[in-house]
Amino acid sequence: MTKTLITVAPTGAELSKAEFPQLPTTLDELVAEAKAAQAAGAGLIHVHIRDDDARPTLDLGRLRATVAALRESTSLVVQLSTGGSVKDPLEARLAVLDAAPDSCSLTCGTVNFGDDVFLNPWPFMVDLFEKARDLQVVPEFELFDLGQVHALRRLVDTCGLPFGGRVHCDFVMGVPGGMPGTVEALVAAVQALPAEVTSWSATGIGRAHLPVAAAALALGGHLRVGMEDNLVYAKGRVVQSNAELVERAARLATEMQRPPMSTAEARELLAVRAA
């Protein structure tokens, strides 16, 4: 039996606090949501932070304070987003690694993102990979499209294995511009993974959330949930907290005989550096 890594992505960079007051945007809110998510079964937190006006920011001081606060209050694997928002410059996204997280996201190619473009040119991918390895940060390869799965093959061929020697990726499905959040697309993407991949998770955006989670569990994958990806718990019912999404994911996984793994097991799975 393989236990399930549940990643919580509590905030994201796209949603507005004014529209969704339950979105954790201050450090205190983020830490409270992180603690509740860990208690519900999360092993890893994918972090985007906001400024005092709840706008997305990559301010290094705030990122460092966020990593420290999450480490103090939880034992979650702390993954900082290097995707940021679609408006963030590449240099600032690279500098995120200076906040010394356990893990960072690394998206394997440029993709249309609604009306915007999420830019990830090849040289940036290589720079990010190498800087993460130099700083002993474990990358999570974000795959929004089948072409990005192929780009991961090229990245491993070009750069070798990341720090820790594991290759963990996350399928983000259902972004307008990326692959759809369907079982067929997930099966195709999993079949195309390079042999070096040691684990993978999946998340479906919006209405793709539950079908992608169920398919990922059936295929032996791990789960990512959270308000970054989905704000609808059920028809007509808005998500009130990240923990309720983690709780549901934990219930699904347990019923599938793949209960949530602990944070210690998550650290081992991903081979993050010892604290």
Residue 83 makes contact with ligand KMH by CB under 6 A: yes
Residue 86 makes contact with ligand KMH by CB under 6 A: yes
The residue number whose beta carbon is nearest to ligand KMH equals 83
- Three-state SS across 24-79? CCCHHHHHHHHHHHHHHCCCEEEECEECCCCCEECCHHHHHHHHHHHHHHCCCEEE
**Among 77-85, 157-165, 195-203, 206-214, the segment contacting ligand KMH (CB under 6 A):** 77-85
Q: How far apart are CA 118 and CA 253, in angstroms?
A: 31
Residue 201 makes contact with Zn ion by CB under 5 A: no
Tokens of 205: 């955006």
**Among 76-84, 145-153, 184-192, 215-223, the segment contacting ligand KMH (CB under 6 A):** 76-84
> Half-sphere exposure (CA, 13 Å, Cβ side) for 179?
27
Residue 141 makes contact with ligand KMH by CB under 6 A: no
Residue 13 makes contact with ligand KMH by CB under 6 A: yes
Q: How far apart are CA 73 and CA 94, in angstroms?
A: 26
Amino acid type, 82: T
Judged by DSSP in three states, 222 sits in strand
Q: Could you tell which of Zn ion, ligand KMH, none binds residue 118, using a CB distance below 5 to 8 A set by kind?
A: ligand KMH
- Which position among 25, 74, 81, 201 is part of the footprint of Zn ion (CB under 5 A)? 81
Residue 107 makes contact with ligand KMH by CB under 6 A: yes
Q: Could you tell which of Zn ion, ligand KMH, none binds residue 142, using a CB distance below 5 to 8 A set by kind?
A: ligand KMH
Other C-beta atoms closer than 10 Å to the C-beta of 29 total 17
Residue 104 Cβ vs ligand KMH, minimum distance, rounded to whole Å: 8
Q: Residue numbers of the site for ligand KMH (CB under 6 A)?
A: 12-13, 81-83, 85-86, 105, 107, 113, 118, 142
